[in-house]
Structure formats: structure tokens, C-alpha cells
Structure 1
Amino acid sequence: MTSVGFAAGKVVIVLDASGSMWAQIDGRPKLEIARESLRNVLQSVPADAEIGFMAYGHRQKGSCDDIELIVPPQAGSASAISAAADSMKFLGKTPLTAAVKQAAEALKYTEDKATVVLITDGLETCGGDPCALGKELEASGIDFTADVVGFGLTADEGKQIACLAENTGGKYIQASDEKALQEALVETVAAPAPAPEPAPAPEPAPAPEPVKPEFNFIPTVVMAEGGEPLTDGNAWEIYKAGSDGTRGASVTTQYGAYKGNLEPGDYVVVAQDGEARVEQKVKIEAGQVSKPLFTLNAGTLIIHPRPSPGADVVDGAAVVIDYPGADHPATYYGTTKIVLPAGDEKVTVTIGQGEVTETIALAAGKTVEKDMIAGVGHVVANAYYTAGGDKADASGIGFKVVKAKKKIDGTRDEVTYSYGPDSKFDLPPDDYVLIATVDLAVVEQPFTVKVGELQDVKVALNAGVLAITAPGASKIEIFEMEKDINGNRKSLGYAYDQKYQAAIPAGDYTVVSEKSDNSSKEGTVTVKAGERSELTVQ
């Protein structure tokens, strides 16, 4: 069994907790794979290793400042890190540059040896420059290293953040599935302990060095037979060949037009661009130059997702592509330009509740560009206390969209929901009912959606706000004033407090305050639409 060691100095693991981690690999969300992989690898880290844990995008959806050092670097932190990752939400943006900078500062990188391991499934979305940060940390740190694990990134995306690792002398590792992610974490977080160096052997007498070529490995990759070589956006993964000819240890990952020097021996080389990849064996012989040709048998697909014909592209639209030979579909957002294996590409575009799927034939070496129309209308929903009156802008306002047509049992199918004023919905053409809820006021508003139509749906609540004060009360309860045939009044809402405020339909009400000694007092109040009513019960 290989022993596991840990490099001297402290380490902070930075985890991408942005919303894109909900995308799936092999039928499982990436966030579940990341949690499980992190837990398994941390079990093999020595208890005296000083590890910290930082995350970003886990508390707020749209903030570039949502960065938190959850577990400071300390010995015996593995279980705390696993627990933090297991309970984390995945919501927001990707301020990876700022997060790595904060992690370095937490490690006092200008005073001590420090390592940051970044695990990300997306690129910087907050204006940071990871390449420039790598140079800055390398220049000002005592012995600073950043290792970057690109989880589910394409080769082109990986190229854009690999420089953060390379500029600090660290590693960039591309992990496309659960096994690859665990291997990457073992290599960065729990690196194998180095074997003791053998005693130096006596140096032999120097022999004349043979003339070596400048480069002995010059590969070329093309999209299709006879095509032009790819020199931008493509990637090379080079592995030592195992005894059975399969991939062994990773040697290097390079990008674009690559020329290199490899030690004589057998290798397995993977050429990749987008979702297309081809693998072949290469033998490097002393004094010889190997110039293998790799043919991806791929084409380029460009998708413009639009809500309706002629409308602007929706940047948040999900574009899911199930391509030939895929272990799992790939998910992109907004305008998507991607290299794919030639064949029939099953593409699904989702905008809000609208979805369209098409199968697109893609030939090797060709480019297909296509608009895909989800077929939705855009709706903005608001509630008003009275028609033409003030907008209900309370954070607790809720909107639920249901189908207008009732089922045989009298219920309606729920379509979607949202909270807060100016709630937005993208819906397929149909008849719907919008149910607006503000505290105790609930109103239904029917509406119809047409493709490409933009409309404001305004719901008049015919309600006011009732503010109740009951000094010394343990409970305040609001009842309809009218009693039923049995003499009972319908309870509308209550609070275990001395004060209670809520939006409520216009009308007459009875308010009962109860004290801890079971005594009670009653008061009556009339609430008018669009007005505030105050009542003291004592």
C-alpha cells in the first residue's frame, strides 16, 4: 500500500460552490461527486496536516463577494471540512481569483510556505484575472503554489485558468468524471510521500553527448482527414504507457500547437478539442523525431438559444448536448460553440419552463450554426394592495403559476413559482392562473401566454395592512367577524407575540389576545383596501 504524505506548510482547499455545480456527470450532480471525492481523499491525509477550507458562491446567488474561509488551516480538520462541504448550498457566481487571493492571505503566504488547491467547474465570472494573480502570488510569496483542478471543464476552458497554476509552479489537472476528480485530489491534496533519495553513485567519466534534436515530439491534430491543423483551443494529454499499453502516470498537459521533448519510451497521447477526443500510442526513440497525426473526426456546432423567433439570445438558457459516444450529456449556457464528435447530436434548449429538442446531423470537418427556439412568452408578476395603488413589495410575497384547466379531481397542475416583486417567468403558450400570496391575502389572476409576448400581470389584492399591539399577550389571533351556523368564527392567522402585523383582505375582523394566565381580550377592526389599520387590544 502506498503511503500518503503531506507537503510541508499549510494548505487551503478552495471549493467552487456556484450554481453550475448542479450540472450532472454520469447522472449525478457535480456537487455530490465533489463532496464524496473530498471526503474520501481527506480520510487518507495525516491528522497533523494543517488544512483549511474556503468556498465561494455558497450563500448568495448574484454576489461576487460571497467568499468565506469556513475552516481555518489547522491539524485534524478533515472531518470539519467534510461536514462543511456536505451541508453547503451551491448558488452563486464564480469569483475564483479573489477567493485564491484571500486563501493565500489566510496562509500568510508572504511569510511561510503555502499551498492553495482550487477545485472549480467554471471560469471567473467576477472580472478577476487568474493569470495575473498567479504571477503576483509567485513574485510576493515565500514559497507559494496554486494547484488547480478543472472539474468537467472543456480543454479550451481549462487553458484559461491553467495559467494560475503554471505561474506559481503548481499543477493544472483536468478531471472529467468522478474517478478523475478523486485522482486529481490525491495528487494535489494528499500527494504521495517522496521516497528517500538513494546515496549518490560515483559519477562516471563524462562521455561525449550525442547531438539531440531541438524537439523529438511534434504532433498534429485535425478535425477531419485532409483538414487544417488545429492550433488554438485544443489540448494534449500525455501519459506513460503501462505494461498492457493502457494509460499510466500523467506526464504533461499542453495546449494549442505543441512541440516537446520526451524521454525515450512508450506513451499514450490524447488529443482533444471541445467534446471530441482521440487517443493513440506513440513510441519515442532516442535520436528520432516523432510526428504523429491525430484525426478527431469531429465538427463544430453553434447554437443560439432564443425564447421566440427573432428575439435576443438568453444568456441563462441551458443548452444540453447528448453527442455520439458521450458518457453523459454536456451542459452549456447561452450561445454555445463547441467541437463535437461527428454524427447525430441531440440538443435540448431550456428557457424557463419552455423546452425544445432537436437532433442535428454534424459531419466531420463541418460547422453547423442554428437558432433553437424554446417557444415561450415572458411574464413579469406584481401584486398591488388596490388596483392602481401601491405595489406590494414585501420580501414575503409569493407567486405560484398553475395551469388554468382543472383536472378531473378539481385540482390544477403547478407549473412554477417565485418570490418577491417583479417575479419573472418564461412560459410556453397556454392559459394559466397566477396565485399571489401576501401574508393572509391570497388572490388568483388568470392570464394567457403567447410565444414572444412580453406582459405584466398585475394582481389586485383588495387588501390592507393590519398592525396589532396587545401588551402582555402570549398569543394574538385574527378571526372573521361573522360566525358560522354553529357559532364558530374562522381563524385567519395568529402569532405568539405581543405584536402582529400582516396584509389581509379588506373587511371586518375580531382580534383576540390571550395571556399566559388564560385570560383573553377581544377587539374589532375594519381594514380598508390600500390602507393601514392599527388596533390595540388590552
Structure 2
Amino acid sequence: MRIIRYFVLGAIAALGLALPAVAAERAIIVLDGSGSMWAQIEGKARITIARETLSSVLATLPDELELGFMTYGHREKGNCADIEMLVDPATGTGAAIAAAADGINPKGMTPISDAVRLAAEDLSFTEQKATVILITDGLETCEVDPCELASDLEARGIDFTTHVLGFGLSDEEGQQVACLAENTGGKYLSANDGAALVDALTATVAEVAQAEPEPAPEPEPAPEPVADYNLKPTASLSEGGPDIVDGAADLVWEWHTVAADGSKGEYVGTGYYSTFKETLEPGDYIMTATLGYASSSQPVTIEAGKVATPHFVINGTILKLHPMASEGADVDEDATVEIRHAGEYVTTSYGDIDLVVPAGALEVDVLIGEAKVTRTYDAKAGETIDEDVIVGAGTASIVSEYVPGTPVAADIFIEIVEAKAALDGSRKSVASGYGGQKMFDLPQGDYVATYRLGGAEGEVPFTVTMGERIEVSIVMDAGILAVTTPGDNFVEILSASKNLEGTRTSFDSGYGPDLQTTLAAGDYIVAMRLGDAVTETPVTIKGGERFELTVEAPVGKTK
């Protein structure tokens, strides 16, 4: 773990954050907040290592350095636009950045390129010198070429540089993001093992030192004796319960000054883990201990020459839930788990969960697709709730075809409704989406898949059984009608026959000169309006075939 800490400390130093050469620069750190940051290194989550390192490094930033902080993938799964500037570039932002990093909950995609681009724009890179420092443990997942982006930023920027720090990337993976640095004159640092890391940092620091000499680092101080700290707190999940002594437990300590009204005042500092100890200036503080989503606060007084040993009862419950579609199924890692405590929202997690939450009245919604089950618990402090949650879902795989063997590639709209109709004939909508091949996780029951593509529509009933997958085939028996008109004429596709009231059914409409739609096999009238005149052309659509029709203007008509 010490090697990893030296990695980020050394890497940021190597990139110039603590060197006089960049003291006048404006820079933004972009920290990976995607779901893979929960992966562990020597038993500790990568996001936790990043939090500790930022807290330590940013405490010693030069006063004149303007530094901002951005992250991505920390609010939503599957959203490539989930990019957020948490701290705007300014001087003296070290504590704010460390606090912002503490609040990141990795879960989503890795939009590396868009994040770097937005950071560059926020730094006005086309008008002044700017630097972006990207810390990532994964590759681009949002279909943007980082190499092309880097070349574009380099060409348009005044003096733009991107440095990339890669966690645990293979040589091949590293090449896919290294171009962000190489194409902008920056550095790419890779950490694959301890020895390679030390070599890479030594070489990089030496190279930077050639540009502007850096004072030799102070030797690492020897461990402080016990008497050199004056605060050593402890915590337990319940009153009278055992102290939390697991070194890997993500126990967070935070302390503030005391405001005039006795509430929390100015933020002072943050510490981590059950082994935490600190030296504070004598005085009164309000201190908070947090484990997962449970916390406890109390006043703490630091006296000169004494060691304060406050104990915190967090009143937390360990909640372990394993969402499954059916009994005996694998845990569904895409399941959504929303937790509420006493009616108040706590958090949303995904897949197999192992969290510390506040004790008391818990309500948990577990969803797999559109299937949902709610669990309630009277959770006791210090206890562990460990449960398989059977959601009762099955899967409907829907494949759409014009005719057998001819798949639908267009954006056909599929809506799943309950088979049972209400008194007014309506049916409750359950799920919907676009595409010729769709997967829906649904509660066990009877459904109807309705579809609409152009002027073709219909429905197919099906039944979902818990824990099973059903193949639902939509065969529209439809073809495509392509109409070419003299200009931007209004065209309407009508039924060939009239109903009892003497009117025809309208299936689709639009404007020329090129109009294309999908229609069920059968006979139709193509009506085109040209001024006050209307032409009607009969057509026959055959399943799986394309019918191309050119409608000419009536003699003497041009508009």
C-alpha cells in the first residue's frame, strides 16, 4: 500500500504540481469515478487510495497554483454524460478537492475523452496555458477516440498538456490512453508492479528536475512515538459492542471547529481507518465518525499534554443483500437496490451489496428490470442482515422481423403492456424501448408486446415465467414503401377501401420529395397534395419487399 501512495504522490510531483516550473499554471485533476474504482489493491479499494492520496498531497500545494477537480461516472450507471466539475479552478482548493473526493461513489461509465475536453474548455485552453491530469484505471467506454481528441486539443490550444496516470493497465491498454499524453506533449505513467513503478517515477522525476532543479526530498520521518499524538478515537457499531478494529474498514473521521451556536463550524480535517491518530491544536471540536452510511457526532476537547480518546457509537447495521431473479439463480449484478431509513433516502447500489447502514426502520426496494420486490427490516445496531432477495423475474427476448428471416434494423418501437385490460379497455404500460432486438426483465405474468414502425403496428401476447427466458417473435409481414414527389408535397398513406362512413384509415403521412415508411402487407392509396389538387395512386405492399413509387405532378401543375 505504501508503494501505491508513493505512486500518486510521486506522479503528481513528476507532472509538476509541486514544482516551481508550474506554479503559475491553471490545472484540473480528472479522477476516474467509474464502477471499476471499487476494485481492490492489497485489500483496499482504489477509490479509497485516491482519497487518502489527494488529502495528503493537496495539503502542501503552492499557494499560487490554481487547481480544479472533476470526476465522471459517479452518479449514474450507463450514462456517458455523467461528468461533473466538483471544484472550480482556484487557489487554495486543496481541502475542498479532498472533501469532494471523499463524496465520490463510483458506479458508471468511463467517458475519458469528453471529460478531458470539458476540463480543457473550462481552463480556456485556446486562450492560455492549461494542464489536465487524468487519473484512470480503465479505458474509454463511450465511443470517442482519445487519440484524435488529443491531437485536436494540441492543435487548437495555446500551450495545452495532458498527463495520464494509469492504474493496473496492461501495455496494450496503456497504449490506448497514452496518446492523450503523447499527442499533447505530456507524460504517461503506468503502475503494473512495485519495481516498475519505482523505475518509472525515478525516471520521470529526473526528467522534470532537468528542466528546473528540485530540492532533494526530505527524508521520511521516523514513526512518531505514542506521546506525539493527542487524539486517538475509537468506534463501535452498537452500544457496548466491540471496537471496530478491521484495518480495511472504510472508517472516516472528520472534525470541525465549534460555531457560536454550538453547531459544526469550519471544516478542519479528515482521517481514515480504525488505526487513525492525530495531533490537533488544543481547543474544542465537533468530531464525526462514519462507516458506510451510518455516523455519529460528538464534541471533543483537546487539552495540551493529554491524549483524548473519545468513543463513538455509530448505531449501524451490516446489510448484505444478494438480488436474484429466482431461487438458485446467480446474483444479478445489474439489479438496483434502493435503501431508505425511516422514510428518508439513504443510497442506491447495484448487484450484490455489503453496506453499513443506520439501524432502525429500513425499507429496501430491489429491482431487476421491471420486476420489483420490497423488503422491510427492524434493523438492530451491530447486527448483520444477510439475505438472498428473490425478485421473481423472468426475461423476454423480443426479436422483430419484416417476414421470417428478414430482421428489422430500423427503430421499431416496442411497448410491453399488461395483458389484462382495465374497465375502459386500456392496458397498463410496463416497459418500452426502440430496436429490432430487445431484452426485458419482467415480473412473472401475462403480457402483450405492442409494436409500431412507420404505418405498421400490431401486438403479440406472451407469458413470463420466473427464472426463465422466453423468445418472443414479432413477424410484421410488412414491407417498405418509398415515395418520391416533385417537391416538398404532403403525402398521406390511406387504406384502399373506405369504411361505412366513407372515409379511409390513415396509416402514415409526411412530406416529400423523399418519404419512406413501413406498412403491413396489403393494398393502400398514396395521396399527394399539389396546391388544391390531390392525386391518388394505388399500391400493393408485399411482406419483405420494397416498393418504390414516383408520383408525378398533374399536367399543368408545378406547385
Same-fold call, TM cutoff 0.5: yes
After TM superposition, the score normalised by the length of structure 1 is 0.64
Map of 1:445 onto structure 2: 460
Alignment partners' CA distance in 2, 1:361 and 1:440: 54
Match of 1:295 among 288, 313, 328: 313
The 5 Å alignment of 1:5-404 reads 62=78, 93-95=108-110, 101-102=116-117, 105-106=120-121, 107=123, 132=165, 213-224=227-238, 225-230=240-245, 231=247, 232-256=249-273, 257-323=275-341, 327-386=344-403, 388-395=404-411, 397-404=412-419
Shift of 1:439: 1.0
- Residues 57 and 463 of structure 1: is their aligned pair in 2 closer, same or farther, counting only changes over 3 Å? farther
Percent of pairs with identical residues: 39
Give distance in 2, aligned partners of 1:444 and 1:95.
Answer: 38
| 8 A contact 1:97–1:124 mirrored in 2 | no
**Bigger proportion of residues as helix:** 2
Q: Is the 8 A contact 1:56 1:99 kept in 2?
A: no
Note the alpha carbon deviations across 1:347-406, whole angstroms, 9 max, x for none.
2211222111122344433322211111111111122112x23111202x0111111112
Native 8 Å contact 2:241 2:382 kept in 1: no
Whether the 8 Å CA contact 2:231–2:308 is kept in 1: the answer is yes
| Equivalent AA in structure 1 for residue 536 of structure 2 | E
Q: Distance in 2 between matches of 1:507 and 1:308?
A: 44
Please report how far the alpha carbon of residue 271 of structure 1 lies from its aligned counterpart in structure 2 after TM superposition.
0.4
Deviations 1:252-286 (A, max 9, x none): 01111211110000111100101111111111111
Residues 442-461 of structure 1, C-alpha deviations (whole Å, 9 max, x = no match): 11111111111101111121
Cα displacement (A) at 1:295: 2.3
Q: Which amino acid aligns with 2:386?
A: E
Following the alignment from structure 1 to structure 2, what is the Cα–Cα distance between the partners of residues 212 and 304?
43
- The answer (yes or no) to whether the contact 1:64–1:126 under 8 Å persists in 2 is no
Distance of 1:514 and 1:528 partners within structure 2: 25
Give deviations 1:166-189, integer Å, cap 9, x for gaps: xxxxxxxxxxxxxxxxxxxxxxxx
Change (3 A) 1:221 1:124: farther
Asked whether the equivalents of residues 78 and 109 of structure 2 are also in contact (C-alpha less than 8 Å), the reply is: no
Number of aligned residue pairs: 399
Task: Give the deviation of 1:55 after TM superposition.
Answer: 8.9
Query: Could you list the runs of 5+ residues in structure 1 that have no partner in the other structure?
Result: 1-6, 20-49, 74-91, 141-210
Q: Which residue of 1 aligns with 2:103?
A: none
Counterpart of 1:234 in structure 2: which amino acid?
L
Q: Take 1:528 and 1:251, find their aligned partners in 2: how far apart are those partners? A: 75
Instruction: Give the CA deviation at 1:434.
Output: 0.9
What's the offset of the Cα at 1:56?
6.1
Q: Deviations over 1:470-510 (max 9, x none)?
A: 23451222221113345433332221112211110111112
**Alignment-derived partner of residue 497 in structure 2:** 482
CA separation in 2, counterparts of 1:288 and 1:215?
Answer: 9
Q: Is the 8 A contact 1:401 1:433 kept in 2?
A: yes
Structure 2 residue aligned with 1:415: 430
Question: 1:271 & 1:461 partners in 2: Cα distance?
Answer: 61
Give the match for residue 191 of structure 1.
none
After superposition, the Cα gap between the structure-2 partners of 1:321 and 1:62, relative to the gap in structure 1 and judged at 3 Å, is closer
Would the aligned equivalents of 1:429 and 1:451 in 2 still touch at CA under 8 Å? yes
**d(CA) in 1 for partners of 2:438, 2:119:** 40
- CA change 1:490–1:57 in 2 (3 A) is farther
Q: CA deviation at 1:343?
A: 3.5
Q: 1:454 aligns with which of 449, 459, 469?
A: 469
The TM-score, its normalising length taken from structure 2, stands at 0.62
* Structure 2 CA distance for aligned equivalents of residues 519 and 57 of structure 1: 57
Structure 1 residues 362 and 14: alpha-carbon distance in aligned structure 2, compared to 1, 3 A threshold = same
Supply the AA of the counterpart residue of 1:370.
E
| Structure 1 residue 345 displacement after superposition | 2.7
The equivalent of 1:190 in structure 2 is: none
Shift of 1:65: 8.6
Q: Residues 390, 97 of structure 1: CA spacing in aligned structure 2 closer, same or farther, 3 A cutoff?
A: closer
**Alpha-carbon distance change, 533 to 114 in structure 1, aligned in 2, over 3 angstroms:** closer
